[in-house]
Amino acid sequence: MTFRLKIEVLSNCIGCGICWTICPKGVLTGKLRERASVLNESLCSGCFSCQNNCPYSAIKVIPIQS
Ligand code: SF4
Ligand code: SF4
């Protein structure tokens, strides 16, 4: 059984920039005041820093069984 990680940015994201600044793998990108974008999900290490540091709980790291 293997897992991959899905990153989901929710509609309440305000584009504060914390997640794409903190991500150590360059998975996320964005422009200030616009919803964050997922650039390369396959590089995600599952550190959960984005999810744990978003002040709006607007980004989720979801393990998907594949
Ligand atoms: S930290 Fe949260 S609110 Fe800020 S850009 Fe990322 S997902 Fe959006
Ligand atoms: S879990 Fe870590 S590596 Fe994956 S997108 Fe979030 S901050 Fe980046």
Cβ-proximal residues to 24 (8 Å cutoff; 6+ apart), any chain: 45, 47, 49
pLDDT of residue 51: 98
- Residue 36 pLDDT: 98
HSE of 1 in the Cβ direction (CA atoms, 13 Å)? 3
HEC assignment per residue over the chain:
CCEEEEEEECCCCCCCCHHHHHCCCCCEECCCCCCCEECCHHHCCCCCHHHHHCCCCCEEEEEEEC
Q: Whose CA is nearest to atom 7 of ligand 2?
A: 23
Reported as a pLDDT band with limits 50, 70 and 90, residue 1 is confident
List, in order of start, the domains of the chain with CATH numbers. Answer: 3-65 (3.30.70.20)
Measured in Å, residue 49 CA sits from the centre of ligand 1 at 11
CA of 7 to the centre of ligand 2 (A): 8
27 lines ligand 2 (CB under 6 A): yes
Q: Tens of pLDDT along 18-56?
A: 999 999 999 999 999 999 999 999 999 999 999 999 999
